Amino acid sequence: MLGSAIDVKINELTESNRQLKRKIFDLYTIFEISRNFNSVLNYQILVDSFLLTSLGQVGAASSALYLPHEKNDHEFKLAKSKGLLHNQVLEENLLLGDSLSEQLTHSAKPISILEFLGLLGDGKKFATLELFSKGLLFPLIIKSELKGLLIIGGKVTGDKFAPDDIEFLSILANQFVVALENARLYESEKNALEELRLTQRQLVVTERQAAIGELSAKIAHEVNNPLSIISNYLRLTSRSINDTDKALEHLDVVGQEFKRITRIVRQLLDFHRPQVMEKSKILIDQVIDDILGLIEWQLNENHITIVKDIAADLPFIQGASEQLKQVFLNLVINAKDFMVGGGTLTIRAYQRKNDIVIIFSDTGSGIPKENLSRIFEPFFTTKEAGKGTGLGLSVCFGIIKEHNGRISAVNNSAGGAAFEIILPVYIADIK
């Protein structure tokens, strides 16, 4: 009697000892993991280590993490899965609806996938979720908000989940969601800072442009007056010279050079305050096609391939097409000039919120880093003397500014330069 009572007690003690050991182990793991989580600000690493730990610790075969859709609070999309084959994973979003969201948030308890599928209801099929049919769903909650769904498939052994497993996963999920929120905040702070830096840089550039523009416009004005006088006298002189006179040839050269000066002065004025042109509703792809038509043969001759990647149904913009043509033409000619021996010019255009983004990306020499902040300045050129005026990009800058847009340049990681133009969508077309 006594012997078997002692045996029972010993068994009980051994069992509770085992449970205690597991608890200590779990707690230790949780402690280690949270410490780890909190030091990881990279979202992908965080998600990966969370899913792997969830799997490893409870011996589950598969796991998945659903996170909120940017557009809809109650919609969750698959962020990552582990232990599933590639072709098993489908891009199906889970639309929870108010009441199911509330229920999960309120109870804050794991439920079985079968039950969850039932609650999603209406005979809808969720192929990916059904792979987890023996598993559990843990709502990830922070500040009474549902921030995600952790899905754990059944155990590899086929056993049911023990209460310890569930407790472990619940605690882990709590730790994770805090770390995730941290990482998200960090990420958005970082982006905000980056944006601020960019605006600041743009501001400095814009201000410098304005100052230089002011000066060059003054000079251009001063030069313009004597130019028109010279022009008159040129005409008079050529009339008074005999057709056969050698001087006529010389005068012809003077005339050509004169035109060049006039063009430069015009461009200078354009940079500062582009000729006010009537703006109308225009389609950017039309403008691009027009200039490509103009310059196609030149590109062919220089072995330059054009790749057009223009989104369909781009909205209108409010613009002066002649001026925008000049901008695009300048960019295409620059790209051609800096792709010696040939290359590819890719012209991309797409809508981003209320803007149209147009990118001219080439496979040429690229722009040395130290020049990036100067290329839009008038007279900045790296072309050999006599080849370039250094006015092309500053004219582009002036015209795009006049369109309430922005233009900037970067180097492609694969080499070559890319010019990005942002133009606001025609106001009445903004939804």
Ligand X SMILES: Nc1ncnc2c1ncn2[C@@H]1O[C@H](COP(=O)(O)OP(=O)(O)O)[C@@H](O)[C@H]1O
Binding residues for ligand X, rule: CB under 6 A, are 330, 334-335, 338, 362, 364-367, 371, 375, 380-383, 388-394, 417
Task: Report helix, strand or coil for 379.
Answer: coil
The nearest distance, CB 197 to ligand X, in angstroms, is 23
Pick one of Mg ion, ligand X, none as the site partner of residue 262 (Cβ within 5 to 8 A by kind): none
Closest CA to 288 of 334, 321, 320: 321
The nearest distance, CB 211 to ligand X, in angstroms, is 17
- Stretch 156-175: interaction string toward Mg ion, x if CB under 5 A: --------------------
Instruction: Tell me the C-alpha distance between 213 and 377, whole Å.
Output: 9
Pick one of ligand X, Mg ion, none as the site partner of residue 139 (Cβ within 5 to 8 A by kind): none
Q: Which is nearer to Mg ion, 234 or 295 (CB)?
A: 295
> Is the CB of residue 405 less than 8 Å from the CB of residue 423?
yes
The nearest distance, CB 208 to Mg ion, in angstroms, is 19
> Is the CB of residue 336 less than 8 Å from the CB of residue 304?
yes
Point out which span in 52-60, 178-186, 344-352, 388-396 binds Mg ion (CB under 5 A).
388-396
The nearest distance, CB 129 to ligand X, in angstroms, is 50
Pick one of ligand X, Mg ion, none as the site partner of residue 381 (Cβ within 5 to 8 A by kind): ligand X
DSSP alpha helix (H) spans, 273-349: 284-301, 321-337
Q: Determine if 267 is a binding residue for Mg ion (CB under 5 A).
A: no
The nearest distance, CB 305 to Mg ion, in angstroms, is 20
Q: Which is nearer to Mg ion, 326 or 334 (CB)?
A: 334
Instruction: Tell me the C-alpha distance between 216 and 378, whole Å.
Output: 8
Q: Which is nearer to ligand X, 14 or 202 (CB)?
A: 202
Q: Determine if 392 is a binding residue for Mg ion (CB under 5 A).
A: yes
> Is the CB of residue 340 less than 8 Å from the CB of residue 382?
no
Closest CA to 351 of 424, 403, 431: 424
Instruction: Tell me the C-alpha distance between 281 and 79, whole Å.
Output: 41
Q: How far is CA 152 from CA 79, 131, 256, in A?
A: 14, 10, 78
Point out which span in 229-237, 326-334, 405-413, 415-423 binds Mg ion (CB under 5 A).
326-334
Q: Which is nearer to ligand X, 246 or 387 (CB)?
A: 387
Interacting residues with Mg ion between 331 and 360 (CB under 5 A): 334
Pick one of Mg ion, ligand X, none as the site partner of residue 170 (Cβ within 5 to 8 A by kind): none
Please return the burial class of 167, using the count of CB atoms within 10 Å of its CB with bins 0-12, 13-18 and 19+. middle
Q: Which is nearer to ligand X, 46 or 391 (CB)?
A: 391
Instruction: Tell me the C-alpha distance between 169 and 355, whole Å.
Output: 45
The nearest distance, CB 276 to Mg ion, in angstroms, is 24
Q: Which is nearer to ligand X, 73 or 257 (CB)?
A: 257
Instruction: Tell me the C-alpha distance between 388 and 424, whole Å.
Output: 31
Q: Which residues contact 216 (CB under 8 A, 6 or more apart)?
A: 268, 271, 272, 378
Pick one of ligand X, Mg ion, none as the site partner of residue 138 (Cβ within 5 to 8 A by kind): none
Please return the burial class of 42, using the count of CB atoms within 10 Å of its CB with bins 0-12, 13-18 and 19+. exposed
Beta bridge partners of 115: none
Q: Determine if 128 is a binding residue for Mg ion (CB under 5 A).
A: no
Q: Which is nearer to ligand X, 316 or 380 (CB)?
A: 380
The nearest distance, CB 414 to ligand X, in angstroms, is 14
Largest CA distance in the chain: 141
Task: Report helix, strand or coil for 352.
Answer: strand
Q: Which is nearer to ligand X, 119 or 372 (CB)?
A: 372
Rule CB under 5 A: which residues touch Mg ion? 334, 392
